[in-house]
A and B are shown apart, each in its own frame.
Chain A
């Protein structure tokens, strides 16, 4: 890491540093730290904080919030202007810029990043170095930084790499510190120690950093300080930046984090010891910084750092600032980004300020850190100034000139390692939160979806059921509007739980029926307040008090709770089910058991591809045995029916008493109907023999089918009619191959023209060509008929139109292009089996109730709404999610908090009418900083993607793109403006919990489903669109940022998956083998220099060239590697909702370009921006907004 940093920043900074170092060791370190720090900062946002918080830092608590939220990319951008900017990061900024440029090459963003790093570095470095080693003295800070430098390198993944070493520790240490806030000093101590341990520790710290931002801040401050020359300040900032943040967050807000911090921190703290000396506030900050500094450490000291430092150095060097700023610009910013960055550089001034501020911020930092973790990317003030002053080009040139080599490098590439890394974030969360998540606290932010946590329901529903974009809701709509953060819930009502978690229990109120608020009709839940001795309860949503029915009465204990509250699930759990009475049934008639109708296309294509054979062969014994049943039930109550179709429909009477099945052909397509009732929908166990005989006959009957024209509309109509006639809700499983062009209702024409994709006219292709299927879908929903569509197209089938039926009925769609039974059969069967098995609820009505003051205003997902409040879904399975957007219509009270109740009225697989309820409580806040501290990025991404899907049909691709970018910029700018310490505009400061927002939003933008151009087919585009629309957070998280696992050195001993790496081609080694998956597909990438031994053991052939890539499966070889590989793949598949098709890609094969498509941090095929470019762009936008 250190090397890298140095590389980027290193050199440039080096020079800079050179300068800086002289000035202060701090400077030196800062720089390096900066780099590392950058991460640190990134993670922790320390830099940012540092400045502010540093000062605050001491105050710690107060400041923290602000800082916490933000990561300042500004810094990054500035490229480190940030550093120089040290402002935030101070010196670091300077350095960063350098890198910034390099990464992207030309783009400033990179520089910014570098800047970021730098800032961080600075922050960290100073802190690091100083804190740890020197302890209180700036020098010490500096020292620390250096180590940081070291860590940074490792940081590459911030946390892991850079972070770990120094950062890691620091942060963690930070973590503790924060808690110990008071102890800041001590915390400092830890950092220091961490410093010592730096490297290893560093890893973790960063993450913690993220949280710790507060600490980070200090670091950043430190960073600046260093630049300042004042150790403390600099110390504060930098380190704080890294460490602090985490700590900060933790300490103040987060109990947890702190704890986290502590552990690691513990070590560090000791090291910190010195830091303590540093000066409490700052020092602490320092402490943290150190963690980030880690890198710096690696940097060693100035010298080693130098490379890195230089950059920062420049920045740091105030004197330098300008220059460095310029240089940075040139380097990073050169081009556009340069500007941003440059501004960052401009930030330099900040540095100055920072210095000043740092201290203060430091204090704040403590607090702040959390939010601002990184942020300070480009931020470098210096840069900005340059910018202004110079044209971009000039800058570049100048820089170039000034710092020839380094700059060039910088401009060329902003070190991606310095940008916020999802891997780091995920890993850290996994490390820190992979235990029990107890839902007793109001507004507790749940662990990331990627974390393997388990939940104990103590009053709020599990995050698996419901996640929110924020857990601390602004009391007024103004704050929310200003923040631009959408308040949205992603509800997965029937999410699959872990084995150790218990399903929501069933509560039966008997004749009484569910107890509800008499005004708003909310269902009884743990939040309801019983008053008047238990005779009435007050609704938590609307405040109305309702009499408790006699049957339901219980006395209250001395705390005002009902004595039976722990005996009643509805009074102590967040999620539970209730038995519904007749009043909750359609027409007040108790529903019958649901039915599944399997409708198989038996046209020529279908028969030829082996589909018909496959289904008939496997349906009964492999699929139907999995029919869902009620818990404890002996057999499934689901009824099944079978139909086939081509140009006409065939229904089958499989009544158990028949000697052979009867086939009933319906050819009246204009006015289709179901020809039989009795014997069509049967219980599997009762008609086993007849069904066997039928499934054996179908392939024979249609073996000679020459039918190529198909119908579809009548098929669905008939299925609907069948369910209606049987008065059952249920699902139609339609296995369909081609565009329905036969003369019948629902006939479609081929209108494919993929050239239109990506243009303003694309919506003509992406919207349905007529409203037949939409209307039909509405009819289906009304009857509780869900359409699950399995498509096996060899050409265009107009998913945009067909998908409507699935979208409206809540059905899923599966697509197997060019299906061949022998190759794709297992995948299809697996999907089908899972779909059959996981059906949970039928004829669903979902309603969201919220506290007075907010209300649900919009819903996203696959469903139908006849009015504005009730979401109607024909069937729900465990994978489908619905997004609810909530807005204020009044004020909330901080004291009361806010509550949401999602009620799902449904028919169970056993035909029982039930209610499932999920309750969630939120904190309310009046401070923007509080808001930013408790956001949930994955949910936010989920929401953005769904919003984008909707926009695709209403606007044009450019607007969709710009809308997302704008929102992202606004959010970050808001944070910057309201929560981050004043600093150079050139710094990129990101809220801790949203430091990946730019990355993820870029992933959304470049996703095929949202921005797919002519390189994918129209159907694929619509298909993805459809999928995204109902994705749960778990799915969307991996879908937008795929998981890339190195497999060439897989550890055959462990049961754990290898650590993921970032999705960039830069991470792939020629001799490596990688597995990439996004929840839909899976690729095995084989480098061309892969070890023959590996190939031999996995594929049984001598070289990669001999691997048969047409096969989608791995051979089962009898050796540990092969077996481990199989296990890994199996495990991944188990995790996903769909069976992942495995595609083997050899490096430099034709397929590779498709594979590269999923490396989302790189430039896309269609010219979409790389992560670096995008970040730079966002930074620029932010600055535009701020100015």
Chain B
């Protein structure tokens, strides 16, 4: 454990946890002066193929208010066969089955390397996952065709015992009964009327009292089907894949005529409501995904985001600022309440939105946000972006099991000096008060448990803590603080599993040993956490306010941890583990997360959602894209995200997470245009051209959702993706500074990083602030 960096890396690999501070200030006061809050990014399902399979239940601390789980940090009394809880210091006896415990014979949970351990609860009932497709039929024929094919293909990816259902909508909403013969049957609902779960239940005839003899002729032979009240609408894949394939095949575009100058009537709001209602009354608290495929905005009924008159465009950020959106608030309320209902029942809502115009993701964002669902935004269902993304939803791990997990809850337990103030991520609060709940809230607070209806290996939450130790109190006993994350979830196999991660960090007295604390600073983690907070604030606050707050925090951090002489900006120095942080903040400020200009509200929502969900690495890419250069001058290398990196003889590969851009410099572009790469003697050029493509493919392979893949060149129109991201060190304002061989100008008035840093140093060093 040579350096903190290694320590951090090791911790992340083992536990999936990245703290902003790895040495904790021991008093509340000092902690608040750290500027960057004490927090961590926690990836509950971080892939750990090496974990031993534990088939028994975890052992809990017997203190009713504690109930922490036995972990490697507990003190074990082998003779007495007792263990002391490291959170509450309660001494607990081992249960009888641990009778054989000894120092040589330790159960996995107390072995130090297993600070993260996963238990499989065997007695819990296994219910197969449920997939409910909600399909918009108001789209172009090719789109619908492509989507139908994708869906038909996905049937083969599903586990055979998974239940599947289909709802289609346009002007009306149709709930299809699967497995009926001769006549395909569906229940139709008007797209303008919201229905509560009870009504839906009655109308679908799936109420408790409602017998279903007439439709259930297959029932008698299949008692199990009889038990499932919804079996007419949700059928095991293996039983209905043929009929469902046919059904999808026969799906027509919404037949209602669309007049000139009108948008098709689309009842997304009601369709979603019915989907939620259907699952709510048939499979509460069971893992289920509602997968919404929409090709346009909701134009009628509850949840409508725009009228059907084409002359009235859908709201823009500008309209929102002006409070000039007729439907937005109501729609948001509708979707938020749906999201809450779904979350309460442990159901997931995915949004797959493919359209050239906005589809209302801005209003619907609550659905994935609260339930952990996917949000995918594309131009058309007939693109590889969507097709591959969708395929990836059903990706499997090395054991052939789905990577997705359902119905998770995360509980946080802290040692006495620390309390949890909130969480950010695709989750909802479970509202569980406890001794470790802080009074101050950051994100969703006031609870020590959160619910994540869906979990992926990369799903990452931001958790924030508060040190509650009083200023003059001694450094706590043992010198370490502990946090335990208990994540219970339904594995895709249907098993109930509990993953327990316990971490310990040292305390330090900030007043005396600030250098220890600053040495434990994780700037990457801090940048992402700050990014999440900023986005969180941006959802409710004005954009400029958030930027100012971000600036202030950055300045204060510099003041606190920089080395400088007062009023001498040039003397400003930052230690290495802080050095990148201002740069992250610079790019964060410029990013689409906080700058809404030139973005639609839908895009903004989409970007923010991803930032709120992804793990640290991906989040960092989003904040500060990565730029690689390929040239004949040497092996591929990462280069500065700066306009100066754009040169004629380079191929650049930029990964912004959302886009992958391959940019051919002027010379390369000319060469390519003249077809040198097709000439045998220029095999090397061909290889050069191919190298970034291969690398891009590698990224594309793993990324979810599929990034937009752009190949462009000098002066190409798509080059804007690159130019908008690089630090505008050369602009039309400082043309004199270049014109030489390096870089390309970016036509912008934005300040460059250099200017930004200069100002930062000045402000940080300034004695007046």
- Tell me the A residues contacting B by CB distance below 8 Å: 648, 650-652, 655, 658-668, 671, 673, 675-679, 693-694, 696-697, 700-702, 704-707
In the bound complex, CA of A648 to CA of B188 (Å): 11
A725 nearest in chain B by CB position: B256
Residues of A within 8 A of B185 (CB): 650, 662-665
Sample (11) of A-B pairs whose CB atoms are under 8 Å apart: A648-B205, A659-B250, A660-B183, A662-B250, A664-B185, A666-B188, A667-B187, A668-B190, A668-B203, A678-B256, A697-B183
A660 to B249, CA, bound (A): 12
B186, CB-defined interface residue at 8 Å: yes
Residues of A within 8 A of B400 (CB): none
- Tell whether A678 pairs with B255 under 8 Å between CB atoms, given A667-B203, A706-B213, A707-B214: yes
A579 to B204, CA, bound (A): 49
Report yes or no: B172 in contact with A704, Cβ–Cβ below 8 A: no
Known: A651-B188, A659-B250, A668-B203. A693 touches B217 (CB 8 A): no
Given contacts A659-B246, A665-B187, A706-B211, 7 further A-B pairs with CB under 8 A are: A655-B252, A667-B205, A668-B199, A671-B190, A675-B188, A676-B188, A701-B183
A705 close to B255 (CB less than 8 A): no
Chain A residues with Cβ under 8 A from B246's Cβ?
659
B569 to chain A, nearest CB (A): 70
**Chain B minimum-CB-distance residue to A666:** B188
Partner among A655, A679, A694 whose Cβ is within 8 Å of the Cβ of B183? A694
Closest chain A CB from B254 CB (angstroms):
9
Known: A668-B195, A705-B214. A679 touches B255 (CB 8 A): yes
B257 contacts chain A at the CB level, 8 A cutoff: yes
Interface centre among B177, B183, B213, B217 (most CB of A within 10 A): B183
The reply to whether A648 and B203 contact each other, CB–CB distance below 8 Å, is yes
Collect the chain B residues with CB atoms within 8 Å of residue A662's CB: 183-186, 250
Task: Determine whether B202 belongs to the interface, using a CB cutoff of 8 Å to chain A.
Answer: yes
Give A678 to B254 CA distance when docked, in angstroms: 9
Nearest chain-B residue to A661 (Cβ)? B183
Q: Which residues of B contact A661 (CB under 8 A)?
A: 183-184
* Contact for A677 among B187, B199, B217, B256, CB less than 8 A: B256
Q: Does B230 contact A (CB under 8 A)?
A: no
Given contacts A668-B195, A704-B213, A706-B214, contact A663 B257 (CB under 8 A): no
Tell me, yes or no, whether B193 is within 8 Å of chain A by CB: yes
Report the minimum CB–CB distance from B350 to chain A (whole Å).
26
| B183 proximity list for chain A (CB < 8 A) | 652, 660-663, 693-694, 697, 701
Measured in the bound complex, the distance between the Cα atoms of B673 and A552 in whole Å is 76
B174 lies within 8 A of chain A by Cβ: yes
Number of A-B contacts (CB under 8 A): 85
Whether A668 and B193, one on each chain, are in contact in the complex, defined by CB atoms closer than 8 angstroms, is: yes
Contact residues in B for A665 (Cβ distance below 8 Å) = 177, 185-188
The reply to whether the CB of B737 lies closer than 8 angstroms to some CB of chain A is no
Chain A residue with Cβ nearest B175:
A665
Q: Is the CB of B172 within 8 A of A667?
A: no
Bound state CA distance, A560 and B656, in angstroms?
94
CA distance A706 to B180 in the complex (A): 19
Known: A648-B203, A662-B184, A667-B187. Is A677-B257 also a contact (CB below 8 A)?
yes
Q: How far apart sit A429 and B190, CA to CA, in the bound complex (Å)? A: 62
Contacts of B204 in A (CB 8 A): 667
- Identify the closest chain B residue to A665 (Cβ): B187
Residue B95 is within 8 A (CB to CB) of chain A in the complex? no
User: Which B residues touch A667, using CB under 8 A?
Assistant: 187, 202-205
- Checking A663, A678, A707 against B186 with a beta-carbon cut-off of 8 angstroms, the contacting residue is A663
Tell me, rounded to whole Å, the shortest Cβ–Cβ distance linking A718 to chain B: 10
Distance from A605 Cβ to chain B, minimum over Cβ atoms (Å): 14
Distance in angstroms between the alpha carbons of A754 and B188 in the assembled complex: 41
Taking CB atoms, residues of chain A closer than 8 Å to B177 are 665
In the bound complex, residues from chain A placing their C-beta under 8 Å from that of B64 are none
The 7 A-B pairs of least Cβ separation, nearest first, read A678-B255, A675-B188, A667-B203, A663-B185, A665-B187, A697-B182, A664-B188
A residues less than 8 Å from B186 (CB atoms): 662-665
Nearest-neighbor residue (CB-CB) of A604 within chain B: B214
In whole angstroms, what is the CA distance A664 to B180 when docked? 12
Check A678/B252 contact, CB under 8 A, given A665-B188, A705-B214: yes
Chain A residue with Cβ nearest B256: A677
Q: Check if B189 is an interface residue, CB within 8 A of chain A.
A: yes
| B182: contacting residue among A675, A679, A700, CB under 8 A | A700
Given A648-B203, A660-B182, verify A668-B213 contact (CB < 8 Å).
no
**Cβ contacts under 8 Å, A651 to chain B:** 188
A677 touches B182 (CB 8 A): no
The interface residues of chain B lying within 8 Å CB-to-CB of A663 are 180, 183-186
Given A664-B188, A666-B188, A704-B217, residue A693 in contact with residue B182 (CB < 8 A): yes
Q: Which residue of A lies closest to B203 (CB)?
A: A667
Q: Are B257 and A658 in contact (CB under 8 A)?
A: no
Contacts A668-B190, A706-B213 given; does A660 touch B255 at CB 8 Å: no
Q: Which residues of B contact A702 (CB under 8 A)?
A: 214
Q: Which residues from chain B contact A675 at a C-beta distance below 8 Å?
A: 172, 174, 188
Residues of B within 8 A of A696 (CB): 182
Taking CB atoms, residues of chain A closer than 8 Å to B172 are 673, 675-676
Using Cβ atoms and an 8 Å threshold, which residues of chain A touch B190?
668, 671, 673
B-chain residues with CB within 8 Å of residue A671 when the two chains form the complex: 190, 193
Tell me the B210-227 residues at the A interface (CB within 8 Å). 211, 213-214, 217
Chain A positions within 8 Å of B187 at CB level = 664-667
The distance from the CB of B273 to the nearest CB of chain A, in whole angstroms, is 13
- Hey, which chain B residues are within 8 Å of A658, CB to CB? 250
A707–B174 Cα distance when bound, in Å, is 23
Q: Which residue of A lies closest to B204 (CB)?
A: A667
Nearest Cβ on chain A to B264's Cβ, whole angstroms? 13
**Chain B residues within 8 Å of A668, by CB:** 189-190, 193, 195, 199, 203
Q: Most A CB atoms within 10 A — which of B174, B186, B257?
A: B186
- A649 CB, min distance to chain B CBs, angstroms: 9
A679: chain B residues at CB < 8 Å are: 252, 255
Chain B residue at smallest Cβ distance from A727 = B257
A696–B172 alpha-carbon span in the complex (Å): 27
Residues of A close to B193: CB separation below 8 A: 668, 671
A652 vs B184: C-alpha distance in the bound complex, in angstroms? 9
- Interface residues in B160-204 by Cβ distance below 8 A to A read 172, 174, 177, 180, 182-190, 193, 195, 199, 202-204
A-contacting residues, B131-185, CB 8 Å: 172, 174, 177, 180, 182-185
- B166 CB → nearest A CB, Å: 13
Give residues 52-76 of B contacting A (CB, 8 Å).
Answer: none
Docked pose: A673 CA to B184 CA in angstroms: 20
Complex Cα spacing A697 to B195, Å: 31
Q: Distance (Å) between the CB of B218 and the closest chain A CB? A: 12
Q: Which partner residue on chain B sits nearest A607 by CB separation?
A: B214
Taken together as a complex, chains A and B put the C-alpha atoms of A697 and B256 apart, in Å, by: 26
> In the complex, which residue of chain B has the Cβ closest to the Cβ of A696?
B182
Q: Is the CB of A664 within 8 A of B174?
A: yes
Per the bound structure, the CA–CA distance linking A960 and B177 in Å amounts to 57
Q: B215-247, CB under 8 A of A: which get 1 and which 0?
A: 001000000000000000000000000000010
Contact yes or no, B213 A676, CB < 8 A: no
Q: Given the complex, which residues of B lie within 8 Å of A659, measured CB to CB?
A: 246, 250
Q: How far is the CA of A1147 from the CA of B199 in the complex (A)?
A: 59
Most buried by A among B195, B211, B255: B255
Contacts of B205 in A (CB 8 A): 648, 667
Contacts of A677 in B (CB 8 A): 255-257
User: How long is the Cα–Cα vector from A679 to B246 in the complex, in angstroms?
Assistant: 18
